[in-house]
Amino acid sequence: MAADPSAAAGQSSEDEAAAFFRSAPPLRDRDRVAGELSEFVTRHSAATGRGGGGLAGVVCITSGGTTVPLEQRCVRYIDNFSSGQRGAASTEYFLKAGYAVIFIYRRGSKQPYCRFLPEDSFLDFFELGEESEIKVPDSHAMVVKTAISNYRKAIDEGLLLKLPFTTIFEYLQLLQMASTAMNCLGHHGMFYLAAAVSDFYVPWESMAKHKIESASGPLNMQLNQVPKMLFILRKRWAPSSFCVSFKLETDPDILLQKAEVALRKYGMNVVVANELANYKDVVVMVTGNGRTTVVRRPSKEDDVEEQLIHLLVKMHSEHIVQLNQHHHALQELI
Amino acid sequence: MAADPSAAAGQSSEDEAAAFFRSAPPLRDRDRVAGELSEFVTRHSAATGRGGGGLAGVVCITSGGTTVPLEQRCVRYIDNFSSGQRGAASTEYFLKAGYAVIFIYRRGSKQPYCRFLPEDSFLDFFELGEESEIKVPDSHAMVVKTAISNYRKAIDEGLLLKLPFTTIFEYLQLLQMASTAMNCLGHHGMFYLAAAVSDFYVPWESMAKHKIESASGPLNMQLNQVPKMLFILRKRWAPSSFCVSFKLETDPDILLQKAEVALRKYGMNVVVANELANYKDVVVMVTGNGRTTVVRRPSKEDDVEEQLIHLLVKMHSEHIVQLNQHHHALQELI
């Protein structure tokens, strides 16, 4: 009998993933993070779907770029561009739609409810009043107050768990931990993988220990491919979850084709395709049933994420209803 | 007659620098920035030293890491680690010592007077009061109020000019513009080059236009050396200025030796040597007259920069006095 080539590809992905995790420096605070994830998922698991009160689901949102260290004592690294604007905005809309959110974000990237605030010197937003009380100029008072109040609400109600990362090693360990913790949620769990993850890395053990010398001549580097973890997430970590991944390209001619390939190859429910030139204004949702283009209406909307999350929440709840109907039909047959 | 080898090295540095600037994408807002620099330097030039009122000098502080794009439509880049903590802290102390400061900083890096504020979600610092006024918890009120008040003072008095950069191309263009603008200040101008500048880059014209494909196999890259701009700054842009540069290494065994080489090679007045492992607590000032170790006293000081700037300001004013005495002596001879 001939070997199944897709099974062989799967096995090789799993071997590569295992090698990656063996090589990675272990996450600091791993136990604390595991505890927080377990507590968060358990608390919301009861309230999700099956007879529970009101929670639409639990979504794990990843956001920002990953860094790839080039030296063990890291001075230089390779980075992927991402402000984290999409992940931060989407977190706000998922919370508004009744989800609990695990927000896995790059340190320093945009935060939910902060994205309309100035980037560098928030001091420009504040003044001292006559009795040295802290004031915000009237022009910005509403946006700052709304931000503080919405953020406080999400934190106080325990609906937002924030977990930071910097390197590709930290990111993939956090994703693995969140996925396996969320596995118990079944199809009520959702992944919204908006982080810009590096495709290449230098294995920790083959990395320069000290700062690479710049004394003489050009620098030659060889980088390995990062294992395709979406494949493992789908197959092992949380196989029943609803999975949304992103595809960013600079060349529009190959974008949709690559999104279709990713959809099939990794068994995603949705691949959101976007171009670097206009990713803030247009995205295409690629699914097994076709494509839906979402365009920001400039005069009416601040961002494209509001519509996108609205459509994804609808798809996710239809997906849950369908799976529940299948489940009931099966039970009646038995 | 044999050619002077150091002249030849100088010429090759200048040729490399010229090639770098020809290849670099031109700075956005170049004219606006040039105007701001010229206005700032002219305004403070009159008040500096020679009979002017009180200004100790004008210092150009560079801060944060530079990025090196790997693709023209930049998704991936190589980055140098630097929070910008040193540059931000030093800016505060130079302002306190009576300097006007041109702060050339990496976007997103630490800002003067903000370095004690939380990194990611400054929302954690703020609350809404009963009448929805913005409040800061008592535990943090003092630090936030002092920050706002000191920052406002520096801005309102026109003593701080902030210029952001991201890439190595932007950084070196800003440094060139600031240096040539400051040349008229003579030895009253100071450079404090704390930015972590990449040693390697990919020339713009040889860069991939689109996102590098990750489809197959490992990635090989070749990076060119960035021309040694300190050399050009010293020789052409602002030859009479007081120059302080930094040397960061992970390996303590080669650190001081490399600092000495840099001191001589680029004609610096001071090279501040620091190790990645303890750069917040210990620095060594390397000068033509010897070495001075500056150690933070943990119970007494928040940072090592306060002592460092104190010593540098003293050296700079002694340098000015000496040069003025030489100048007077020369004039009397004539």
Q: Which among A73, A122, A133 is the nearest to B276, CB-wise?
A: A73
Which range (A232-241, B35-44, B212-221, B299-308) has the least confidence?
Answer: B212-221
pLDDT of residue A274: 94
- Residues of chain B in contact with residue A151, where contact means CB-CB under 8 angstroms, are 121, 123
**Contact at CB, B211 and A251, closer than 8 angstroms:** yes
Express the helix, strand and coil content of chain A in percent, nearest 5 each: 45, 25, 30
pLDDT tens profile A203-214: 877 776 666 666
- The residue type at A311: L
Q: What is the largest CA-CA distance in chain B?
A: 85
pLDDT of residue B216: 60
User: Roughly what angle, to the nearest 10 degrees, separates helices B30-47 and B168-182?
Assistant: 30
- Residues of chain B in contact with residue A255, where contact means CB-CB under 8 angstroms, are none
- The residue type at B200: F
CA distance A90 to chain B (A): 17
Domain coordinates of chain A in residue numbers? Answer: 14-113+158-333
The SS3 call for residue B219 is strand
Mean pLDDT of B161-175: 96
Spatial contact of A276 and A225, defined as CB atoms under 8 Å apart: no
pLDDT tens profile B124-142: 777 777 777 777 777 777 8
pLDDT of residue A51: 46
Reply yes or no on domain B7-123+158-213+221-333 having CATH 3.40.640.10.
Answer: no
**Contact at CB, A128 and B71, closer than 8 angstroms:** no
Long-range CB contact pairs, A8-16, < 8 A, 24+? A10/A231, A10/A235, A13/A227, A13/A228, A13/A231, A13/A232, A14/A232, A14/A235, A14/A236, A16/A227, A16/A228
Separation of alpha carbons B268 and B228, rounded Å: 13
Parallel, antiparallel or unpaired: strands B99-106 and B290-295: unpaired
**Contact at CB, A248 and B123, closer than 8 angstroms:** no
Q: What is the largest CA-CA distance in chain A?
A: 85
- Residues of chain B in contact with residue A277, where contact means CB-CB under 8 angstroms, are 73
**Contact at CB, A114 and B128, closer than 8 angstroms:** no
Mean pLDDT of A178-188: 96
Mean pLDDT of chain B, nearest integer: 87
Q: Strand pairing partners for A242?
A: A190
Q: What ipTM goes with this model? A: 0.73
Contacts of B214 (CB under 8 A, 6+ apart): A199, A200, A225
Q: Which among A147, A199, A210 is the nearest to B214, CB-wise?
A: A199
Quote the CATH superfamily of domain A14-113+158-333: CoaB-like (3.40.50.10300)
Which range (A28-37, A55-64, B296-305) has the least confidence?
Answer: B296-305
Contacts of B184 (CB under 8 A, 6+ apart): B41, B45
Say how many CA atoms lie within 13 Å of A153 toward its Cβ.
12
Q: Which among A81, A223, A224 is the nearest to B77, CB-wise?
A: A81
**Neighbour-count burial of A319, counting CB atoms closer than 10 A to its CB (0-12 exposed, 13-18 middle, 19+ buried):** middle
Mean pLDDT of B229-235: 94
For residue B139, CA distances in Å to A297, B131, B301 come to: 44, 21, 20
Long-range CB contact pairs, A5-10, < 8 A, 24+? A10/A231, A10/A235
CA distance A107 to chain B (A): 7
Which range (B61-70, B111-120, B169-178) has the least confidence?
Answer: B111-120
Q: Which among B127, B162, B218 is the nearest to A224, CB-wise?
A: B218
Give residue for tokens 């540098």.
B312
pLDDT tens profile A9-45: 667 888 889 988 988 889 999 999 999 999 999 999 9
For residue B188, CA distances in Å to A321, B246, B310 come to: 74, 20, 16
Spatial contact of B234 and B266, defined as CB atoms under 8 Å apart: yes
- Residues of chain B in contact with residue A199, where contact means CB-CB under 8 angstroms, are 214, 219
pLDDT tens profile A262-301: 999 999 999 999 998 899 999 999 999 999 999 999 888 8
